[in-house]
Amino acid sequence: DLVHVLALEHHAKQRLGATGANQHAACIAEFPLDSLRFVRQPLAVAPILPVAQAEALKAEHPGLPVFGNEAAQRKLSAAWLIEQAGWKGYREGDAGISAQHALVLVNHGRATGTQLLDLARKVASSICAKYGVMLEPEPRIIGASWAA
């Protein structure tokens, strides 16, 4: 019951630099999260909401970063939502959320892919309950479903 994640181009850029990532994107492949130790993986993409919903959240939470100037939609900071909900630095066994950046899912040693995915789901569920915003996972999940 392994959970697999496809490394994203931006993740490759962090490791290889922008030029290296473009040249080596074909070399980045699927890897089993269960086999990795001390993994740091982005948790979620920035949610995109209709302007009215984004502005209503901003009015209720003045510190919420809202980005974009498109006519129909705005992008919110997933990291801000996660941190404000109290998840930054949270840990369940070896699965955790980074204490340095709330958007980073961390395997501190022996967490399984399933444990990491379960924690990511808990975070997303709490964000939905608190803010009415659904987070979507940033890593592409293969061999499992984001929906529990």
Q: Which tens digits make up the pLDDT trace of 72-120?
A: 999 999 999 999 999 999 999 999 998 988 988 888 888 888 888 899 9
d(Cα 148, Cα 145) in Å, to the nearest integer? 7
The continuous run of DSSP H or E covering 40 comes out as strand 40-42
Q: Residue 142: is its pLDDT beyond 80?
A: no
What whole-number distance in Å separates Cα of residue 48 and Cα of residue 14? Answer: 23
CA dihedral 27, 28, 33, 39 (to 10 degrees): 110
19-28, 59-68, 72-81, 123-132: least confident range: 19-28
Question: Which stretch of 50-59, 94-103, 112-121, 133-142 has the lowest confidence by average pLDDT?
Answer: 133-142
Of 22-36, 59-73, 106-120, minimum mean pLDDT range:
22-36
Dihedral sign for Cα 43, 24, 48, 147, please. Answer: negative
Query: In the structure encoding, which two tokens stand for residue 87, read together?
Result: 């998840």
- pLDDT at residue 17, as a whole number: 47
Query: Hey, is 125 helix, strand or coil?
Result: helix
Instruction: Report residue 34: phi and psi, to 5°.
Output: -65, -25
Six token digits for residue 64: 């919420």
